[in-house]
């Protein structure tokens, strides 16, 4: 795998890691979920995987909604659609220090080996946190000092944005 391709994989993975680590804070807040059929739901997102959201609503309790049926998730405080993926990517790509950490991670042989595993890449693409939490390589990856720096940089800025 070329260095540039590896760097793209690492950036995507770091985005996912930052998003998933920070999403506990974001998910704890009430959201408005707009479905493709026009339905609006208000509640807290308890979990999300590639197939469904689990939402806690006051009126209906826990509701499972297919991901394909969701049009948009909005923050009720500001009424704006959450585009965290774009925000995190901008924070990773726009910070020279963060990009230097990404390049360092991209050269790590253990990381290169990890990204060559189709099952792990599939779990990353599906955002399957249950699988990733049980994978020792993922856990070790998340403890890598450069990964910690990137996650801290991105999630720290995200927390600052929420507090504004």
pLDDT tens for each residue of 68-113: 898 888 776 544 444 556 666 777 778 888 888 888 888 888 888 8
Task: Please tell me whether the overall predicted TM-score, pTM, comes out greater than 0.95 for this model.
Answer: no
Domain boundaries, the chain: 1-24+82-158, 30-76
Domain 30-76's class?
mainly beta
First to last CA, the chain: 41
Q: Which two tokens stand for residue 72?
A: 């948009």
Q: Which residues pair with 86 in a beta bridge?
A: none
């Amino acid at each position: 795998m070329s260095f540039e391709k590896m760097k793209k994989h690492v950036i995507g993975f770091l985005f996912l890691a930052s998003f998933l680590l920070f999403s506990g804070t974001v998910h704890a807040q009430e959201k408005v979920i707009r479905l493709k059929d026009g339905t609006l739901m208000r509640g807290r997102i308890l979990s999300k995987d590639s197939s469904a959201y689990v939402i806690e609503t006051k009126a209906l309790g826990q509701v499972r909604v297919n991901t394909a049926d969701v049009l948009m998730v909005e923050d009720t405080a500001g009424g704006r659609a959450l585009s965290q993926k774009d925000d995190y990517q901008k924070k990773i790509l726009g910070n020279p220090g963060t990009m230097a950490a990404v390049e360092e991670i991209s050269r790590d042989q253990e990381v290169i080996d990890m990204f060559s595993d189709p099952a792990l890449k599939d779990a990353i693409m599906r955002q399957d946190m249950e699988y990733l939490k049980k994978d020792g390589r993922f856990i070790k990856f998340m403890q890598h000092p450069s990964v910690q720096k990137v996650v801290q940089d991105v999630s720290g800025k995200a927390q600052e944005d929420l507090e504004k």
